[in-house]
Amino acid sequence: MAEQFVAKASEFQNGDRQIIRVGEDEIGIFKHEGKYYAYSNFCLHQGGPACEGLTIAGVKEKLRDDKTSVGLYFDENSMHFVCPWHGYEYDMFSGEQVADRRLKLKKYNVVQKGDEVYVVA
């Protein structure tokens, strides 16, 4: 495992992503609210490009005490990314597949040194 240069931090804006190939691995690096997250780009379903689809906040439903629905809303405290092939949805903070949290994308550490961002792979 070695640190692989990804990008200049000053050029990596919030909401940006980068897909890199390191040896035989493809890795997706996200920047979300100032933090970096990196996962294997091979979807656990059928190997699709897991990190290249839509990013979207988790959808939750607000219920009153008597369990009547106030409606659905986007939970801005969560963030998901969706595999563009068949819609497997992954938690950006953990890499877990949100419908079955036992399934987890391989996670890589990201380190920032000054203005440079590295992924450990």
Q: Is 74 in the site for another protein (CB under 8 A)?
A: yes
Nearer to another protein, 32 or 103 (CB): 32
Please choose, from the candidates 10, 30, 11, the residue with its C-alpha nearest in 3D space to the C-alpha of residue 20: 30
Q: How far is CA 80 from the centre of its chain?
A: 6
Site string for ligand FES, 46-85 (x = CB under 6 A): xxx-x--------------------------------x-x
Q: Is 39 in the site for ligand FES (CB under 6 A)?
A: no
Please choose, from the candidates 39, 47, 53, the residue with its C-alpha nearest in 3D space to the C-alpha of residue 87: 53
Instruction: Supply 19's token pair.
Output: 């897909």
Binding site partner of 22, from ligand FES, another protein, none, Cβ cut-off 5-8 A by kind: another protein
Q: Is 34 in the site for another protein (CB under 8 A)?
A: no
- What does the DSSP 8-state code read for residue 3? E
Residue 92 to residue 65: CA distance in whole angstroms: 30
Point out which residues bind ligand FES (CB under 6 A): 43, 45-48, 50, 83, 85-88
